[in-house]
A and B are shown apart, each in its own frame.
Chain A
Amino acid sequence: MFGVPGASFYKTFKEKNVFVAELRPGLEGMKVVSRGFLKVGVVPVVICDNMMAFCMQRGLVGEVHIFSNSVDTGKGICRTGSLIAALCAQIHHIPVYMHPVRNPHRSLLNVSDGARASQSKPPKGPDMTKIGNDNVTIQGIRQYAPLWEEVPLSLTETGQCNG
C-alpha cells in the first residue's frame, strides 16, 4: 500500500495482510493509513519507503495498490514513491492497482508528528530535518521532497485508474 486512500477504501479492501509504506516526510502512511486499517480490524505492518523492493524480492507482496488524485494523458498523479512501487512491482511481476482518491489533500493536512506536508501557496515544502520537535539533522541542508509524481497507467494491471 503506497499512498493515502480515500476513507471508503478501507471498508471495501478484502486483504487482511497489509504492508503500509510509511510515506516520508509526513509519515501519513504510518499514521493515517495505519489508523484507517486498524479501524476496520486489519493490523497493518508498516515498512519504510525504501523496503518495498526487498519485500517484493522476498515474495512477501502479492499485489501493490497506489492512489491517484488525477489522471492526465495516460499518467496518474500520485504520491511520490508510487513510481518506485509500480516499477519495482513490474520488475517482480506483481500486479499494480491504481485507485482514484477524492479530496487527496485532506489526508495530508493535520499530521501532528513528522514533517508537515503542506499544500499552502507558495509551497514551503516539508521540513525533513525534524520529526515532531526532534532534530534529525542540522538546519540549513538543502532539501528536495516533491509530494507528487507521475505514474504511467501502463504500469498498472488494468492500464487505467479504477476503484
Chain B
Amino acid sequence: MKESILFWPAHIKGNTLYILDETKIPQKVVYLKIRDHKEAIRAILDMKTRAFGQFLTVCYTFILELNRAKGKSKPEQMDVLGKVAEAFNKSRPTFPFEEVTSMILGFAKKAYASPNFADDLIKALYGFLEQDIRFQRYKRAEEASKLVKAGDAILTHCHVSGEMSLIGEFCRRDGKHVKFFATETRPYFQGARLTAWELKVEGFDVTLIPDNAVAKLMSEKMVDCVIVGSDRSAKNGDFANKIGTYQIALLAKHFKIPFYVLTQPSNKLESGEDIPVEIRNEDEILTYAGRRLAPKGALAYYPGFDVVGHGLVTKHIAINGN
C-alpha cells in the first residue's frame, strides 16, 4: 500500500537520525540530521516534528545514543538511557514522553541480562517499530476506512502523520470514492501544509477550509463524519489533540455527525483533566514568517492543544484494537 512520506517521518542511517522537517513542507522536503538527544529535543521544541514523528524521534534517539555508547559498560549505557529519558520527559508537556521513555527503559531492563545488551535492545526497538507499530497503524487505518461509506465527505483537523491518506488508500482499495475536508489548523497550518498537501499529492479529493467554516459545512450537510488523531489519551477515553479538536467535537455532536478518533490507549491518566495543555509563545500567532501581522500592542493566547471528553466520541479506533 502506498505510504505518504509523513507516515514514517524519521529514520536512522549509520550514526545519524534523519527527521523530516515538517515546518518546511510543502515548499521543501528536508530531513534534519540529528546526532544526539540534545539535537533531537531541539527539533521537538521547534515543532520540526510532531505527533507520531515525536514518538519515532524518541525511539530512534535511544538507538542513536546506544550506538554512541557502545564502548561503555552496561551500567554506563543504562545511565545514558536514563539521562536521555529524563531530557525527553522535560521537553513538551502534552505529548506523553514519559510513557514512551518508560516503555523503552522497560525494554532495556528486559535486555539487561544479555551479554549483547546494546545490540539486543537496538534489535528489539527496531522490531517493535517496524513490525508492531507499523502493523498496528495499518490495522487502525483499515478499521477507520470501514466506518466510511462510498461517497462520504470526511472532515479532519490538523494532521494524523500520514494516516489519513492511508485511510484513503484503504477506501480506494475497496472501491469507495471519498472526499476530504481539511481544516487549515491555525496557527501552524498543519492542515494546509501537511494534510491537504499530502492528500492532494496522493490523488485524493481534498478541499481546504478555514477553521471557522466547520459549523457552516456541518449545517449544510457537507460533512458525513469526522476523523481526527490524538496526542494523548486518558483511561476514561478522554483525549488531547491539536487545539480546535474540542470545538469540532462539540459541533459534530450538535449536528449529529459521527466523530471518530485514532487513539493509542493509556492507563496512566484517569481522565482528560489530568492532561497538561501546553501554552505556547504568543508570537506564533501574531507573526508569520518572521513578520508581525497584528498591530503593535495586541497580545495573543496560544493553547497548543485541547481535551475532548469521551462522551463526544462516537468511536475510538485504537492502535491496540481496544
A interface residues, Cβ below 8 angstroms from B: 19-25, 27, 30-31, 34-35, 38, 43-55, 57, 80-81, 83-84, 87-88, 91, 113-114, 128-129, 131-132, 134-138, 140-146, 149-150
Contact = CB atoms under 8 A, between A and B. Distances in A.
A48 B243 CA distance: 9
Interface of B: 26-27, 157, 181, 183-187, 189, 192-193, 196-197, 200, 206-217, 219, 243-244, 246-247, 250-251, 254, 285-286, 288-289, 291, 293-295, 297-303, 306
Contacts of B247: 50, 52-54, 84, 88
B9 to A, nearest CB: 17
A46 to B, nearest CB: 4
Given A43-B299, A134-B288, A83 B189 contact: no
Interface secondary structure of A, over-half rule:
mixed
Contacts of A113: 291, 293
A25 B192 CA distance: 12
B288 A142 contact: no
B213 A138 contact: no
A50 B244 contact: yes
A27 B300 CA distance: 13
Nearest to A137: B192
B165 to A, nearest CB: 14
B208 A31 contact: no
A162 B185 CA distance: 32
Given A38-B297, A48-B243, A137-B192, A54 B306 contact: yes
A43 B300 contact: no
B288 A43 contact: no
Nearest to A131: B288
A112 to B, nearest CB: 10
Given A44-B298, A44-B299, A146-B213, 20 more contacts: A34-B298, A35-B295, A46-B301, A48-B186, A48-B243, A49-B186, A49-B210, A49-B212, A50-B185, A54-B303, A81-B215, A84-B215, A84-B251, A87-B254, A88-B247, A88-B250, A141-B208, A142-B206, A144-B181, A144-B209
